[in-house]
Chain A
Amino acid sequence: MKRLLFFAIAAFALLDHALAQQTITLGASVQETGRLANTGRYYRDGYEFAVQTINERGGVKVGNEHYRLDLKILDNQSDVNLSVRQYTQLLTQDKVNFLLGPFASDFALADSSAAEKYEVPMIQGGGASDQIFSRGYKYIFGTLPVASKYFDSTVQAMSKFDPVPKSVALLYADDAFDVAVAKGAREQLQAGGFRVTQDERYSSNSSDFSSLISQIKAAAPDAVLVAGHETEVLNFIRQAKSLDFNPKLYSFTVGVPTADFRLALGRDANFAYGMTSWLPSPALKDDYFTNAQVFAESYQKRFGYEPDYHAASAVADVEAFVKAIEAAGTLDPKKVRDAIAQVDFESLYGRIQFGAVGQINLPQTVVQVYNDAVVPIYGQKGFLNKPRYPMPAWDKRP
């Protein structure tokens, strides 16, 4: 009897082992709490949604075997140092297979060093700064387009406006992303023949722009370009209103395409220009989500808020890993890394292909907010809609 029991248990154990599905674990340290949590959640939710959907559609095929994707997300509390420690933990203790990135260039800059040190590829969709990709690292890839090119389409569009804005003020925060954006914008403005009245750097997380706005108002430029994060942009606009500052146009690197922005500002959001590398268009077809519009609708239904390019970028990261793993036919980090460098496929985020230094190349579409809608204004092929220009003075707005 005891022998029978022993054999039964052994048989079950073997059977269980044979049936247990193999998993590929993707690790990430994301800002779930802390001052960046408002955007960090796009990454957590994007990663989860992608992993779940890919598993539902059959998972990943490595050679002849099927694997499930698994996700291990840690909360870095919007603290860069904690984020680096968490990535190190994911690699050394949790022994995840591959890494997904955090939000924000400052984080991606620091965390990519962990990936490089342990030679495990990281695909991140949260950091656009050129600095991330200028160190000769081989194990970092990014799905946000190059920061220094963010304002390219805006400056091009500006040179076609009527009347052409002659003078521009450039403001930027002092973090990795915004400094890179400003560097590129500066070059573009000079090449475009614009007179730059102000080229001012301000502290990240400033809540008071009164002095800056007063100075810019005194110089009276036609256009203002601001490279900053969402809360700074919000404060800027509200304070511009309260100080009665009326440029002909102002454009911001982040915030404008997101629903929160329009909700917070109400009608004050009107006429603001921004940019996005992604719009939920049905023309962006995807193997797992049908297309970008279907993705946006199901994302909103599941998580209760509209996705923006952050979420799409996060999903693209997971899909890029799947394609690369399937192409490599192995889970070996070095071989997968080489496969990632070679991927080229269409997804709900656009065409995923990494350049020589590991960064994607996607154009930014200039958008403008009007009446709680984000209107695409200018893309690669020229004007998509007529811009509402110049911006009416605050007291003359409809």
Chain B
Amino acid sequence: MSLLLQIIVNGILLGGLYALMALGLALVWGVLNIVNLAHGAFIMLGAYVSYYLFTLLHVDPFAALPLCMLSLFALGYLLQRNVLNLLVRAPMFNTLLITFGIDVVLTYLAQIVFSADFRVVNPSYAGSNFTLLGATVPLVRALAFAIALGLTVTVWLVLAHTRLGRAVRACAQNLLAARLYGVEPRTVYALTFGLGAALAGAAGNLYGVVSQINPYIGDALTAKSFAISIIGGLDNPLGVVVGGLFLGTLESLTSLYVGSTYSDVASFGVLVLVLILRPKGLLGRTT
């Protein structure tokens, strides 16, 4: 019985990591209708920022979180303002193409600058764990889960209760009306995309502590984030938490009861089911 508990705990913590990764993608997609295929590349860059801060300046990854987020925010803002803005009213396919292009450029630039050697961020507490109800809980994953929740709630509060949040939602709902109310869409879009990149940076920051970093980790993470965003639904930022938890737990249980090689089958199978039965996601509005 305690094996099952451990597996479920693993699944929940994995889900927390997944949620953190998917948050930025879901925000940008839900609000700006841009599917950012370079999302994984942003996570990868955030991971490298964290790695170099840790290795060269001995900055603890959790302390480096704001720095990571800020640097990725700047990158995202500049990219949106100068590159993606040109395509904001273009067909969806064009944004897919251009973000794909950005993904390739960032990945291979990272290969040239950082080399393909894999890196890890190994602070002294990287392997620490504590016991809860008989299950071993890795410390870093528990903290990542807490950060994911914290960031999601913050994003939700910002969108719901601040001027900027209202402006962002207004642009998403009715661009013309928003402009009539004095909202400057270019700034709003750039800020939102920057925020999405910052969230990816936060995920990347912790990624190096739980896994390893190399220029090619982006694609798999984009695919995972994509699936989670769809499963959770794009209408509500809490959707990624639900989607992440669901997927993490499902993969862990599949590994226990069916076999480890079937986790991907299970996750993408669920994705297909969700698209058929509840296309707006588990937390999406059904109207």
Distance (whole angstroms) from the CB of B213 to the closest CB of chain A:
10
Distance (whole angstroms) from the CB of A388 to the closest CB of chain B:
19
Which listed residue, B119, B126, B260, touches A212 by the CB 8 Å rule? B260
Q: Mark B101-139, 1 if CB is under 8 A from A, else 0.
A: 000000010010000111110100011110000001011
Asked, given contacts A35-B214, A210-B14, A214-B3, whether A238 binds B136 with beta carbons under 8 Å apart, the answer is no
Q: Is the CB of A34 within 8 A of B216?
A: yes
Interface residues of B in 59-112 (CB under 8 A from A): 108, 111
18 A-B contacts (beta carbon < 8 Å): A34-B116, A37-B116, A38-B117, A202-B260, A203-B260, A203-B261, A207-B220, A208-B251, A210-B252, A231-B118, A234-B118, A234-B120, A234-B212, A238-B120, A241-B127, A242-B129, A242-B140, A244-B136
Q: Is the CB of A208 within 8 A of B14?
A: yes
* Residue A167, interface by CB 8 Å: no
Q: Compute how far the CA of A215 lies from the CA of B264 in the bound complex, rounded to whole angstroms.
A: 19
Instruction: Give the number of A-B contacts (CB < 8 Å).
Output: 106
Q: Is the CB of A268 within 8 A of B127?
A: yes
Q: Mark A69-101, 1 if CB is under 8 A from B, else 0.
A: 000000000100000000000000000000000
Q: Compute how far the CA of A174 lies from the CA of B128 in the bound complex, rounded to whole angstroms.
A: 30
Q: Count of chain B residues with Cβ under 8 Å from any Cβ of A?
A: 40
Q: Compute how far the CA of A242 lies from the CA of B129 in the bound complex, rounded to whole angstroms.
A: 6
Q: Compute how far the CA of A35 lies from the CA of B251 in the bound complex, rounded to whole angstroms.
A: 24
Query: Interface extent on A, as a size class?
Result: 35 or more
Q: Compute how far the CA of A217 lies from the CA of B5 in the bound complex, rounded to whole angstroms.
A: 13
Distance (whole angstroms) from the CB of B258 to the closest CB of chain A:
11
Main secondary structure of the interface of A (DSSP, over half): helix
Chain A residues with a Cβ under 8 A of chain B? 33-35, 37-38, 40-41, 78, 174, 200-203, 205-208, 210-212, 214-215, 217-218, 230-231, 234-235, 238-239, 241-244, 260, 264-266, 268, 394
Q: Mark B245-260, 1 if CB is under 8 A from A, else 0.
A: 0000001100110011
* Residue B211, interface by CB 8 Å: yes
Q: Which residue of A lies closest to B135 (CB)?
A: A214
Q: Is the CB of B252 within 8 A of A211?
A: yes
Q: Is the CB of B128 within 8 A of A242?
A: yes
Q: What A residues does B13 contact at CB under 8 A? A: 210
Q: Is the CB of B256 within 8 A of A215?
A: yes
Q: What A residues does B119 contact at CB under 8 A? A: 264
Q: Is the CB of B259 within 8 A of A201?
A: yes
Q: What A residues does B251 contact at CB under 8 A? A: 208, 211
Q: What B residues does A215 contact at CB under 8 A? A: 3, 7, 255-256
Q: Which residue of B lies closest to A305 (CB)?
A: B117
Q: What B residues does A268 contact at CB under 8 A? A: 122, 127
Q: Compute how far the CA of A230 lies from the CA of B118 in the bound complex, rounded to whole angstroms.
A: 9
Q: Compute how far the CA of A231 lies from the CA of B6 in the bound complex, rounded to whole angstroms.
A: 24
Which listed residue, A40, A203, A243, touches B129 by the CB 8 Å rule? A243
Distance (whole angstroms) from the CB of B209 to the closest CB of chain A:
9
Which listed residue, B127, B216, B220, B260, touches A238 by the CB 8 Å rule? B127
Q: Compute how far the CA of A206 lies from the CA of B108 in the bound complex, rounded to whole angstroms.
A: 22
Q: Compute how far the CA of A201 lies from the CA of B212 in the bound complex, rounded to whole angstroms.
A: 21
Q: Is the CB of B256 within 8 A of A211?
A: yes
Q: Is the CB of A231 within 8 A of B214?
A: yes
Q: Compute how far the CA of A265 lies from the CA of B138 in the bound complex, rounded to whole angstroms.
A: 17
Q: Identify 7 new A-B residue pairs, CB closer than 8 A, beyond the known A35-B116, A264-B212.
A: A34-B216, A202-B261, A203-B261, A212-B260, A238-B126, A244-B136, A266-B122
